[in-house]
A = this chain, B = another copy of it.
Amino acid sequence: MVDLENTLFMLPGPVKIHPRVLRVMSMPALPHRSPEFSKINEEIRDLLRYAFQVDDDYHVAVFSGSGTSGLEAVISGILNKEDSVLCIINGKFGERLYEICNIYANAHPLEIPWGQAPTLDAVEEIIEKYEVTAIALCHNETSTGMTNPAEEIGRIAKEHDLIYILDGITSVGGIELYPKEWGVDAIVLGSQKCLAAPAGLAAVAISDRAYQRIGEGRTYYLDLKKHIDKIEKGDTPYTPAIPLFLAFKEALLMLKEEGIEKRWERNKMLATMLRSAVKALGLQLFPEEKFASNTVTAIRYPKGIEDKEFRGILKEELGVIVAGGQSIVKGKIFRIGHMGICSEVDIMATISAIEYALLRLGYEFEAGAGVGEAIKVLSTWRMHNEQGMQKV
């Protein structure tokens, strides 16, 4: 059995958690209706605006549930059966967004092959055909390792005055993103992704015009308005997952201390290192490279390398944990998360481990080539970086 406390944990969420974040969860019982917890809620509220890069004209809320709960809260809150919503599907999480929209509104899918970006023409076409009132887009597709062109689609949404909903579960805090400038009305994050907090919380930011639209009584536990109005006063509608709130606050603080631009830059650098290694090893990215994500990298298996065996060697022989493919790409790709507090040496170690597994499985390549390329990329990056000798 693998010692899960002595591994290199490289999933695209949950991700490695900092000891400082883990430690706050060991606090003895804390009453959630207390001035002490109110203060924590208020701090979370303010730090969330920083993480989402929004001002007071956006409303925020936290849900004790997974990222999916945040998506449902948003969609059930601001859309209704009168709405005609365009859902772009090019991965598993675009699919999920569509499934949720389908319950609360009239959803119109724009299906494109996984790993490819939608053309703006196709988006326009559906908008006109179905008199669309809203767009729902998965910003960063964890299932394919690609980032959708959220800014460009936002421009279309603005032109047509559409409600624009973004699943930012693996982008917020990891990938450059400006909700207001991009015309985003609702955006959702998951605690266990770019913030590197434990799994179990979702958070959302809602534009004021979306807030004004919130209908009542469509759901209960995930009631968007109640959650927004309560956290504004430092409270929660129901019992929150108390230790997770404590950890979430600490992780949000760590993001602020690092600086979100620095974290975006770090994730981008890690992604660039990894992509350069992929090429040097003669492997292929799954998505179009132009749209390759900075927080998760999906790599196609070369001929003859079997998923279970490959990931088995990484886990059992080296204690390195990466993800396989989901749904239609199961067995065809593997995925590496490099968001949150993932470091340069974590990436170097991961590349070394991948090389080791490929060697074990008889793949032909020059051992060390991937790591060699990655350290060259990092070295060049640092030389051209104004942070100079410091870790970014």
Contacts and interface: CB of A to CB of B under 8 A. Distances in A.
Contact of A375 (B345, B346, B356, B375): B356
A348 B343 contact: no
B2 A19 contact: no
A319 B348 CA distance: 12
Given A367-B373, A368-B372, A348 B356 contact: yes
A345 B320 contact: yes
A317 B390 CA distance: 5
A231 to B, nearest CB: 29
A376 interface: yes
Given A318-B344, A382-B360, A391-B317, A352 B366 contact: no
Nearest to A372: B368
A372 B353 contact: no
A313 B341 CA distance: 19
Contacts of A356: 348, 375, 378-379
Contacts of A390: 316-317
Interface in A1-57: 2, 5-6, 8, 18-20, 26
A389 B317 contact: yes
Interface residues of A, number: 46
A125 to B, nearest CB: 47
Contacts of A18: 5-6
A359 interface: yes
Contacts of A375: 352, 355-356, 359, 367-368
A360 B344 CA distance: 15
A376 B355 CA distance: 10
Contacts of A318: 343-345, 391
B317 A382 contact: yes
A282 to B, nearest CB: 14
Given A355-B371, A356-B378, A360-B382, A345 B349 contact: yes
Contacts of A316: 389-391
A391 B2 CA distance: 8
A100 interface: no
B382 A372 contact: no
A316 B18 CA distance: 18
Q: Rank and list the top 7 A-B pairs by shortest CB-CB distance, nearest first.
A: A368-B372, A368-B368, A367-B372, A348-B352, A349-B349, A356-B375, A371-B371
